[in-house]
Homo-oligomer: A and B are copies of this chain.
Amino acid sequence: MTKKDGTYHHGDLRRALLAAAVEAIGESGPSAVSLRDLARRAGVSHAAPAHHFGDKAGLLTVLAAEGYDRLADTLRPVIAQTGSLVETGVAYIRFAVDHRAHFEVMFRPELYDRHDPAVLAARQRATETLAAAVATRGGDSGDARMDGLAAWSIVHGFATLWLGGALPADLGPDPEAAGRPVLRRLVDRP
């Protein structure tokens, strides 16, 4: 990503700063991020992050939009291939584990500009994708909106408890395998 003299191309520096942010958030969460620390991690001047993102909220806004985009990109093929709300929920859990920093930022909207056009567009894509997953489900209860909120709550709750290390250790190391029977409790009504 660097040129031979150790400096970055413009787009590469932006990516390097976002990667440094993901690393920093993985260590101590989105609240503790500072642009100064990101510059240090990327080995660039203190002014570089402000040049690219304006301020910390600007940086987190980019990560939030990226996160919603990736979530939609993750879920869409699963719905298309499986037509299963449970498997879509399992993919949501996998997304949270694989993209933990993005996931943590996405659900802390007080830290970024939730009205940013890129965030709104990406969020809309993700919301429509989740709604499509809920619509795949047989045995509609008659209130698709509440069904959607229930499905979102259970997958989000499981993912958050898993990331927080709060679940019993004997569920094993694989969040997909652990989550699947839990999600079935909501979806596979007897």
**A residues touching B (Cβ–Cβ < 8 Å)?**
28-29, 31-32, 106-110, 114, 139, 141, 143, 146-147, 149-150, 152-161, 164-167, 181-186, 189-190
Contact = CB atoms under 8 A, between A and B. Distances in A.
Contacts of A165: 109-110, 114
A157 B110 CA distance: 18
Contact of A146 (B31, B114, B185, B189): B185
Contacts of A32: 29, 31-32
B109 A182 contact: no
Contacts of A155: 153, 157
For this chain, the copies found in one complex come to 2
List of 5 A-B pairs having minimum Cβ-Cβ separation, nearest first? A157-B157, A150-B185, A153-B157, A156-B157, A29-B31
A106 B161 CA distance: 10
Nearest to A110: B165
